[in-house]
């Protein structure tokens, strides 16, 4: 068994309550990163870090776990921004990781 990180890591991108960053990664026996991660752990650019923070705040402001989205405009803006962030995240971590974009709140209206 290797002592280093897996050949390809998988960063999961999705929001969750009470979390500052919508970034997650499953640890392995040889790669203990915890479950919740931060942009600094991946060396993300300042611009992408700011955009991820704003995207997460937008979700917290416009999505309720019981009522869903406050309006379709907010949902659509969040959806489009999330797709852009996922693409940019994939580009920035391409040398060492894949990205799994999991926008579960889009299933609730």
Tens digit of pLDDT for each residue in 24-54?
987 665 556 677 899 999 999 999 999 999 9
Q: Is the pLDDT of residue 2 over 80?
A: no
Tens digit of pLDDT for each residue in 6-29?
667 899 999 998 889 999 987 665
> Do 25 and 37 contact (CB within 8 A), yes or no?
yes
Tens digit of pLDDT for each residue in 64-82?
999 999 999 999 999 999 9
Phi, psi at 29, each rounded to 5°? -55, -30
> Cβ contacts of residue 9 below 8 Å, gap of 6+?
25, 31, 93, 96, 97, 98
pLDDT of 80 reads 97
pLDDT of 3 reads 58
Q: d(Cα 54, Cα 46) in Å, to the nearest integer?
A: 12
Convert 10-39 to b/e letters by CB count within 10 Å (16 or more is b).
ebbbbbeeeeebbbbbeeeeeeeeeeebeb
pLDDT of 59 reads 96
Pick the closest to residue 95 from 11, 23, 32 (CA basis): 11
DSSP state of 17: T
Q: Is the pLDDT of residue 109 over 50?
A: no
Give the residue extent of every domain in the chain: 9-107
Q: d(Cα 97, Cα 108) in Å, to the nearest integer?
A: 29
């Amino acid at each position: 068994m290797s002592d280093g990180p897996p050949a390809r890591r998988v960063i999961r991108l999705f929001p969750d309550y009470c979390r500052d960053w919508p970034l997650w990664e499953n640890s392995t026996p040889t790669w203990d990163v915890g479950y919740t991660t931060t942009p600094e752990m991946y060396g993300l650019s300042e611009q992408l870090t700011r955009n991820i923070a704003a995207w997460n705040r937008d979700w917290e402001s416009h999505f309720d776990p019981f009522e869903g989205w406050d309006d379709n405009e907010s949902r659509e803006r969040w959806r489009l921004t999330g797709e852009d962030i996922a693409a940019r995240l994939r580009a920035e971590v391409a040398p060492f990781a894949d990205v799994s974009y999991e926008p579960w709140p889009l299933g609730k209206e």
